[in-house]
A = this chain, B = another copy of it.
Amino acid sequence: MNKDIPEFSLQRMPVYLNYLRTLPDDGNYNFISSGAIAQALGLGEVLVRKDLAYTGCAGRPKVGYPRIELISALENFLCVNDAKSAVIVGAGGLGRALLCYGGFKNYGIELACAFDTDPEKIGTEVGGKPILSVEQLQESCKKYGAVLAIIAVPASAAQQTAELLKKAGIKAILNFAPAQITACDGVKVINIDVAANLAILASML
């Protein structure tokens, strides 16, 4: 699902969800207008209405969106209630930081384990998750029913890792290695190059 929705709209859905979840349950936010959401998030009101229309939750004129319903609609949209299993390849600094990060649960994502090639790391645990050998990648991904993966290996190993993950049945990859992953048919990839993002920001100054 969600294949035909503009990428930028898709990227804002978690932002709306996070914001609505932080509002207090004190009765003052049973309804919230697109204008209020737009202002809080620094977005245009028309844009907010357009984005939220994709969730199927309808705002009521002069009242706004019923907040709890809108949260549910966004959660459905993002499949938060479908438990999904993810693995990390690379248990260096970044991989370890992600293993300890609790935020995946908010989206129904369970980190199962990480893989590494370093014998000193294999067999240990980080954040309560086991570090396994890359040689166990295929069987472990199947065992955990993993469909998502995070690549946190050096740039030189990124493409090879993506191909290995594809063979193991992974359907979507978040790539932190500073190397573009290409030609991995049937697998969705988002590349996140931290240094490049900082460079883009700098070039806009």
Cβ of A1: which chain B residues have Cβ within 8 Å of it?
203-205
Which residues of A are interface residues toward B (Cβ below 8 A)?
1-3, 10-11, 13-15, 18-19, 40-42, 77-80, 82, 84, 86, 92-94, 96-98, 100-101, 103-104, 106-109, 147-148, 150, 171-174, 178-180, 182-183, 188, 190-205
Whether A15 and B180, one on each chain, are in contact in the complex, defined by CB atoms closer than 8 angstroms, is: yes
Distance (Å) between the CB of A90 and the closest chain B CB? Answer: 11
Whether A202 and B84, one on each chain, are in contact in the complex, defined by CB atoms closer than 8 angstroms, is: yes
Nearest chain-B residue to A82 (Cβ)?
B202
Q: Considering residues A15, A41, A107, which has the most beta carbons from chain B within 10 angstroms of its beta carbon?
A: A107
Nearest chain-B residue to A199 (Cβ)?
B107
Given contacts A94-B94, A174-B201, A190-B201, contact A101 B14 (CB under 8 A): no
Cβ of A197: which chain B residues have Cβ within 8 Å of it?
174, 190, 192
Whether A202 and B97, one on each chain, are in contact in the complex, defined by CB atoms closer than 8 angstroms, is: no
In angstroms, Cα B174 to Cα A179, docked, is 19
Whether B205 and A172, one on each chain, are in contact in the complex, defined by CB atoms closer than 8 angstroms, is: yes
Distance (Å) between the CB of A92 and the closest chain B CB? Answer: 7
Cβ of A108: which chain B residues have Cβ within 8 Å of it?
199, 202
Whether B93 and A198, one on each chain, are in contact in the complex, defined by CB atoms closer than 8 angstroms, is: no
Whether B202 and A41, one on each chain, are in contact in the complex, defined by CB atoms closer than 8 angstroms, is: no
Nearest chain-B residue to A40 (Cβ)?
B182
Sample 10 A-B pairs with CB under 8 A, ordered by A number.
A1-B204, A1-B205, A19-B180, A79-B202, A104-B198, A108-B202, A109-B198, A148-B202, A174-B194, A188-B201
